[in-house]
Amino acid sequence: MNDDSASPQIRLPLRNQLPCWLCALLITSPLCITVFFPFDFVDDGCLVYRESPGIAKRVMEKTFSEFHTRGPFRPMTWLHWELQAELFDQNACMHRLARFGMAFLTAWLLMIFFNQMGYSNLPSAIAGSMLMLTPYRGEIWLSLGLTEAFFLPYCILSLISAIKASQSQTISIWDMAAWVWATLAIACKNTSVAVIPALLLLRAWPIGASLTPWNVRGPLCFLASPAIFFIAHLIAFKLDPTPKEYSTSLPGFGHFLAWARALSRASALEFIGPGLLIILSSIFFGSRQLSQGQGFSRIFATSFLLIFFGVGVHIPINGVSGRYSAIPGIGLDLIIGFAIQKSLDSKLSSISKWGLGLVMAGIIIALITDLNKGLKQSNRSSLLWEAVSYVENHCDDQSQCQWLAEGKPEKNNLGKSEGIHMGWHLKNRGIYKGSFKTCDDWPDMRTASTVITTSSSHPEGWNLEMTLEPSSRLPHFDEKLRIYSNKEINQ
């Protein structure tokens, strides 16, 4: 990778893509276990069930309803969700299989993208595994309600198409493809507009040539135009008088510190940091020119744009989450892949081999941590499904069940939101016809017949009917569900 001219090209014949397919399958194969996870109690209750109106009507209604109540405008995301609900309905395995398919597609496209940026298959696979297997960014593939799984393939396809447009004889076709993919990504989630600056750079910087934006100013203006949809949404968001769940504000210094920590976690430094440090040290102290060739400038400029705008578009949003680092994380992956590729091109020294070994060991540890997180989430969901089963089998349609959330739970413990999501599942399954509500204190004994809570104490008049515990065969959390019945109503 000493020169951009050595960068491999995308080869269209399918047989030439076999290494990319195999690497993508290797990266995503550990995620196969998620196919056996049940539905979660985080948004799944309002996403996975088939409803009576047609798909087009449902997509339009939910898109505009979400905009007015919460703020996001994402018709393509709702199209994905509603298509899956129409096809799979209450089959959790099929919904999970579709999510795994998106993970495989993303890994395969990442392999192609990294190949186009000049990396061989090993650095591409290692860099790609950061997005797929680390606990921080890997949350995308564990939950059906996270939208990054939908927009990431579109974002990567737009970058690949821009590279192809800069070096192909069929320029207009690839420019149009890049425009379409970028537009669809923004229609999935407006913050994916952060990919457009890197898209423009790759279009204006052909492999083995200099950066010449003025020579392609027409295509660049065309490719930048999807940002209009982001700007239009932002204006509508600010002008709409309805209070929104999501809001924007000026960030404080603590928010920037939170993002600095988020980027370190997105690059999995806690797992691969020692090995990566050894590789970088061997490159610098081995008298090798890290910045030799135009490949260095092009790759690091692309990385900078993905990180800068990927973080910048989220800065006005309160809070930081692993899924927010999806786009800036790809920029970090480019840097990590470059360091590994550079050490391979320079013929690994014994020190570099140790560093590469530590990086791969770190990825394995990250994978184990990620799977443990997924299994814990599955165990938690299974416990809640036992409560759903109890309500459907033991409570009559004239009864009122209530979920009692005591105080503010710690992370990953059971709180009020789980009760809300349980209510959605009960309503959409249609088996239990009675009333289900959440409450902050023990309900009036004249109305409620059943209370589900984590509390081990109860007022007089309530009987403990059942205690539900997490499975001992899976990683579990320190919570138990207790089901109490009203003595008077249930006599």
Instruction: Tell me: do 75 and 144 sit in the same domain.
Output: yes
Instruction: Tell me: do 56 and 106 sit in the same domain.
Output: yes
pLDDT tens readout for residues 60-95: 999 999 898 888 899 999 999 999 999 999 999 999
Q: Is the pLDDT of residue 13 over 60?
A: no
Q: Is the pLDDT of residue 335 over 70?
A: yes
167 assigned to some structural domain: yes
pLDDT at 488: 65
Instruction: Tell me: do 333 and 405 sit in the same domain.
Output: no
Domain end position, chosen among 320, 346, 372: 346
Q: Is the pLDDT of residue 210 over 90?
A: no
266 assigned to some structural domain: yes
Instruction: Tell me: do 340 and 385 sit in the same domain.
Output: no
Q: Which of 45-54, 145-154, 242-251 has the lowest mean pLDDT?
A: 242-251
Domain carrying residue 418: 380-486
Domains held by the chain: number: 2
- Mean pLDDT of all residues belonging to the chain: 86
Instruction: Tell me: do 317 and 392 sit in the same domain.
Output: no
360 assigned to some structural domain: no
363 assigned to some structural domain: no
370 assigned to some structural domain: no
CA distances from 299 to 306, 339, 386, 400 (A): 11, 11, 51, 60
pLDDT-derived band at 289 (thresholds 50, 70, 90) equals low
Instruction: Tell me: do 120 and 211 sit in the same domain.
Output: yes
β-pairing, 435-439 with 400-404?
A: parallel
Instruction: Tell me: do 307 and 197 sit in the same domain.
Output: yes
Instruction: Tell me: do 328 and 447 sit in the same domain.
Output: no
Instruction: Tell me: do 246 and 316 sit in the same domain.
Output: yes
pLDDT tens readout for residues 362-390: 999 999 999 998 998 899 899 999 999 99
Instruction: Tell me: do 301 and 407 sit in the same domain.
Output: no
Instruction: Tell me: do 287 and 401 sit in the same domain.
Output: no
374 assigned to some structural domain: no
Domain end position, chosen among 328, 346, 364: 346
pLDDT-derived band at 153 (thresholds 50, 70, 90) equals very high
Higher pLDDT, 348 or 340: 340
130 assigned to some structural domain: yes
Q: Is the pLDDT of residue 53 over 80?
A: no
365 assigned to some structural domain: no
Q: Enter the pTM of the model.
A: 0.90
Report the share of the chain in percent with pLDDT over 70.
92
Rounded to 5°, angle at Cα 101 from 75 and 473: 115
Report the share of the chain in percent with pLDDT over 90.
51
pLDDT at 407: 54
pLDDT tens readout for residues 467-489: 998 887 777 667 889 999 886 66
Instruction: Tell me: do 57 and 149 sit in the same domain.
Output: yes
pLDDT at 14: 43
